[in-house]
């Protein structure tokens, strides 16, 4: 099961069978014109604005950024913008370059100087995922064309204008951490320094410092947006950078995971079973597997019944372990069967505990189908219907080819950045991830976020979750937020929204528009004194 989980982690954290296995397995799973770039030599780009041809191989020195100009239409108005594409170096204390981080920076033209317009840094998760998902799914002025509900269209795949781009509200810098995208360590074994929870925060933090310096953005209002493990990174950065003089106006978390105890189905940790239950119920409701009286209700009404029991009743049952009476066990089985759509016999044999992979396989077993992990609306077909867990994640399979093809075409043709290096969209570029020593054995960056709230009284937080996300379920996110230890006056700075889609809620056209509307209101509020 560990190999299967690692292979499907896209913007989601590894949800592993044990902390020790987590440490041992391979971890698979940009916003201003170049106003005054520092002198550079070499290059991986095809042409600069002067028309100079650059090299196509990886250069031994910093590369010349490519600057292009574009326009699109947002809310009936023309939006002209500049895209700066290139690499920034990460240097050690002696000045030696240890890695280069690839970025794509979008800046609206004619909408204020570079020191006054808001600037947002964006990245995805994994760890091991490039920034392409938020870039070409939600934030950028171009998006991958999917079916209306987010399903996979027939090839060849296309990019289309994104009327819901965030660029009308803020400049955006998309960052690919070391080992993702075109970002590389300079030495074969150099990536180990960056492939850990703290090393990742420090390297991306150094990129942000350098970007603010080179492109003169120190006085811009600043925002961070991360998805999945990117929310782990964003929370860590909020606490790390405030200690280095960088304070953010707003943090945006898309499909959040801050405390890994909420999502690690390790023996002895019963917390995830109750936190995943509402998403199991939402998934069963979507696939019409609930009892008639529940199935006839709307999703919000279904969850209104499930959530209180998931919060109090179910954890109390699990905590009793073998002390449960037969009557208590029967009552729990009745509830679980009612809310999950799984058979009472299966739940009994599972000892009242069903993890993600077994749920994804069991719910539609009678139809010889599985459901997706990133988005449980999607169905898959396995080689055998008798297996214990799915062969693959159908929701990942639906998005990986379109995003891969669209990005590779876009970066070379429209952005003019040409290189023969493979663009590591998901995995392939990083080695084993060092999760470090964590409190109670689970990585947890929630304290860094709480610290940033305390030290930066104007920082606001927006959290977006999908009801059909089995990678980072919304109820687990709510649990983490309510356990940050915030004072009442701090909690009013937190905004949460839920969407009728999965981990990448923005692949659904209707939910993409809702997300943009919610984020626009958040940015406006965050910019007010």
On whether both 385 and 451 belong to a single domain, the answer is no
Share of the chain above pLDDT 70, in %: 87
Least confident span in 11-20, 226-235, 279-288, 356-365: 11-20
On whether both 407 and 515 belong to a single domain, the answer is yes
The CATH code of the domain that includes 424 is: 3.40.50.1820
Tallying the residues shown for the chain, one arrives at: 529
**Pair 151, 238: CB distance under 8 Å:** no
DSSP-assigned states of every residue in 298-348 = -HHHHHHHHHHIIIIIHHHHHHHGGG--HHHHHHHHHHHHHHH---HHHHH
pLDDT in tens, 224-266: 999 999 999 999 999 999 999 999 999 999 999 999 999 999 9
On whether both 110 and 28 belong to a single domain, the answer is yes
On whether both 504 and 375 belong to a single domain, the answer is no
**Boundary of a domain, candidates 358, 376, 395:** 395
Tally of domains within the chain: 2
Least confident span in 7-16, 90-99, 402-411, 432-441: 7-16
* Token reading at 16: 């592993």
On whether both 247 and 312 belong to a single domain, the answer is no
| Backbone phi, psi, residue 363, to 5° | -55, -45
Least confident span in 206-210, 432-436, 498-502, 518-522: 432-436
pLDDT in tens, 54-75: 333 444 445 789 999 999 999 9
pLDDT-based confidence at 435, cuts 50/70/90?
confident
**Boundary of a domain, candidates 337, 361, 395:** 395
pLDDT in tens, 66-107: 999 999 999 999 999 999 999 999 999 999 999 999 999 999
On whether both 329 and 236 belong to a single domain, the answer is no
On whether both 189 and 250 belong to a single domain, the answer is yes
pLDDT in tens, 366-417: 999 999 999 999 999 999 999 999 999 999 999 999 999 999 999 999 999 9
On whether both 48 and 174 belong to a single domain, the answer is yes
On whether both 256 and 142 belong to a single domain, the answer is yes
Cα(217)–Cα(224) distance, integer angstroms: 14
On whether both 362 and 424 belong to a single domain, the answer is no
Range of the domain at 348: 271-395
Identify the DSSP state of 251. E
pLDDT-based confidence at 116, cuts 50/70/90?
confident
Q: What is the mean pLDDT of the chain?
A: 89
pLDDT-based confidence at 437, cuts 50/70/90?
low
- Residue 38 is predicted with a pLDDT of 35
**Boundary of a domain, candidates 351, 366, 395:** 395
On whether both 91 and 115 belong to a single domain, the answer is yes
């Amino acid at each position: 099961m560990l190999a299967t989980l690692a292979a499907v982690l896209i913007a989601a954290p590894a949800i592993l069978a044990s902390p020790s296995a987590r440490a041992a397995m391979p971890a698979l799973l940009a916003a201003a014109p170049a106003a005054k770039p520092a002198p550079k030599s070499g290059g991986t780009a095809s042409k600069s604005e002067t028309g100079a041809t650059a090299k196509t191989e990886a250069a031994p020195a910093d590369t010349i950024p490519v600057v292009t100009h574009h326009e699109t239409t947002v809310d009936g108005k023309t939006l002209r913008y500049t895209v700066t594409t290139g690499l920034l170096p990460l240097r050690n204390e002696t000045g030696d370059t240890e890695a280069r981080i690839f970025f794509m920076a979008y800046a609206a033209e004619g909408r204020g100087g570079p020191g006054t317009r808001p600037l947002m840094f964006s990245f995805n998760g994994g760890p091991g995922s490039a920034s392409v998902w938020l870039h070409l799914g939600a934030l950028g002025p171009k998006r991958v064309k999917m079916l209306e509900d987010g399903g996979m269209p027939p090839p060849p795949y296309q990019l289309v204008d994104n009327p819901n781009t965030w660029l009308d509200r803020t400049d955006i810098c998309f960052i690919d951490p070391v080992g993702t995208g075109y970002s590389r360590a300079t030495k074969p074994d150099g990536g180990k320094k960056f492939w850990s929870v703290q090393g990742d925060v420090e390297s991306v933090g150094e990129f942000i410092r350098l970007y603010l310096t080179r492109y003169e953005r120190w006085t811009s209002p600043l925002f961070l947006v991360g998805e999945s493990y990117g929310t782990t990174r964003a929370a860590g950065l909020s606490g790390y950078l405030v200690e280095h003089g960088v304070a953010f106006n707003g943090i945006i978390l898309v499909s959040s995971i801050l405390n890994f105890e909420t999502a690690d189905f390790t023996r002895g940790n019963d917390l995830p079973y109750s936190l995943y239950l509402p998403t199991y119920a939402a998934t069963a409701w979507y696939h019409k597997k609930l009892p008639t009286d529940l199935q006839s209700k709307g999703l919000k009404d279904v969850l209104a019944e499930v959530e209180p029991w998931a919060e109090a009743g179910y954890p109390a049952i699990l905590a009793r372990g073998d002390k449960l009476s037969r009557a208590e066990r029967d009552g729990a089985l009745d509830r679980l069967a009612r809310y999950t759509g799984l058979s009472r016999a299966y739940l009994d044999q599972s000892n009242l505990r069903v993890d993600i992979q077994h749920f994804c396989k069991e719910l539609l077993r009678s139809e010889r189908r599985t459901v997706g992990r990133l988005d449980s609306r999607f169905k898959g077909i396995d080689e055998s219907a008798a297996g214990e867990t799915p062969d693959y994640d159908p929701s990942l399979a639906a998005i990986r080819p379109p995003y891969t093809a669209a990005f590779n075409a876009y970066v070379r043709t429209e952005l003019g950045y040409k290189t023969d290096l493979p663009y590591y969209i998901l995995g392939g570029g990083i080695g084993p991830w060092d999760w470090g020593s964590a409190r109670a054995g689970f990585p947890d960056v929630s304290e860094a976020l709480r610290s940033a709230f305390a030290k930066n009284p104007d920082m606001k937080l927006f959290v977006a979750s999908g009801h059909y996300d089995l990678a980072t379920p919304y109820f687990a996110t709510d649990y983490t937020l309510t356990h940050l230890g915030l004072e009442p006056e701090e909690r009013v700075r937190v905004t949460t929204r839920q969407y009728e889609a999965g981990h990448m809620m923005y692949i659904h056209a209707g939910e993409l528009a809702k997300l943009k509307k919610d984020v626009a209101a958040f940015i406006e509020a965050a910019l007010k004194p």
